[in-house]
Amino acid sequence: MKTRELGRTGQSVSALGLGCMSMASDYAYGPSDEREAVATLHRALDLGVTFWDTADVYGFGANENLLRPVLAAQRQRVFLATKFGFVADGQGGTSLDVRPERVAAACDASLLRLGTDVIDLYYAHRIDPAVPVEEMVGAMADLVRVGKVRFLGLSEASAASLRRAAATHPIAALQSEYSLFTRDVEAEILPTCRELGTSLVAFSPLGRGLLTNPGPQLAEQDLRRTMPRFGEEVGDANAPLVAGLHALARAKGISTAQLALAWLLRQDEHLIPIPGTKRRKYLEENAGAAEVALTLAETQQLQELLAARPVAGARYGEGALRLVNR
C-alpha cells in the first residue's frame, strides 16, 4: 500500500484508510458480523491498510471494543483515529457535547475501550456553535501535552472553524464527506486545508454504497433510511449516473469503487479516503484503487458525466444537516 503524509506532521499513513463504523453496529448499514469484521481488520494489516477510523459513538463503544483485541497484538502497525462528541441521550439517540470539561473524560474512556495508552489522531466529531472552537481545541491540545493523543482533527467543520482551530493548535486532519456524489468541500474546505497544511480525510468516499449500487435493499434499522438520497424515487433518478460510472470503470478494467477512489486520490496529495467496510472482499477491492492511475482524458470523461447527470437528493436529512458546521 502506498502512503501519504498526514498534513505537515511528517507522519506517513496508508493512502487509503479503513472506516470501521459499520463493524459492530446494526444501525450502520445493516447487520454486523463480528467474526468477519475481525477478519477484515487482520486482512487490512496484510494489505497495508493501517489507518483505521472509529468513534466512541459507533455502537456506543462497541466499535472501539471490537478493535481492542486486534490492537493488543498489532498496535504498532496501526495509525489509530477515533472521535468524541456524541453522547447517548437516554432515548436510543444521541446529543452533542463537546464542552472542554468533558474532553479528557471522553478520551480516557476511548483509551480504555481501545486498550491503548495513546490515540494517534483524535477528532472532535462535530462543531457546536454554542462552544467556542478555541476552548474545545484548547482542551484537546491538553491531551497532546500529556501524551494521550498525538495529533488533533475535526470532523464536518467549516473552513472558518478550521482556521480558528488551527490558530489554537495545529490541526492534522479535517474529516468531511467527499465523493463523486458529494463535492461541497471543493469550494472552500479543500483550499483551506491546503493553505493550512491539513489533510482532508474523505469519509463515505463511495457515497455510502450508492456509487456502486443505486438501489440497495436497506435493513429496517439501516442509517441510510434517514437520508433523502436513498429514497426510492431519488434512487431511480441517480441510476443513469451510476450506470455511466459503471461503463467508465468497465472500459478501464476496474471496478466502480476503484474508479471513484482513484478519482479522489487524484484530487490532492494529502487527501486520504477512508472507505468503510466490514467485509474482506470489499476491503481488497478498495485497496486496489491505490494502484489505479487515471489519465487526464478519463478524468475529463468523469467530469462530463457528472455535469450531464448531477446527483439527486440531499446527503443528510434535516436533523443531521443541522449538525454540519457551515
d(CA 255, CA 288) in angstroms, rounded, equals 9
Closest C-alpha to 74, from 103, 106, 38: 38
Instruction: Give yes or no: 58 in active site.
Output: yes
DSSP strands (E only) in the chain: 3-5, 12-14, 18-19, 51-53, 79-84, 86-88, 94-96, 119-124, 149-155, 173-177, 199-203, 272-273
Q: Distance of CA 42 to CAs 67, 69, 133, 278, 287, Å?
A: 10, 11, 37, 11, 14
Q: Beta 3-5 vs 12-14: how paired, if at all?
A: antiparallel
Closest C-alpha to 235, from 124, 312, 154, 122: 312
Sequence-distant contacts of 98-103: CB under 8 A, at least 24 apart: 98/124, 98/125, 98/126, 98/127, 98/128, 98/131, 98/136, 99/131, 99/136, 100/131, 100/135, 100/136, 100/138, 100/139, 101/139, 103/136, 103/139, 103/140, 103/142, 103/143
d(CA 320, CA 159) in angstroms, rounded, equals 19
> Which spans in 197-291 are helix H?
232-252, 256-265, 280-287
Contact (CB, 8 A) for 122 and 154: no
Q: Which one is catalytic: 27, 29, 58, 123? A: 58
Cell numbers standing for residue 207: 457515497
Instruction: Just list the catalytic residues.
Output: 58
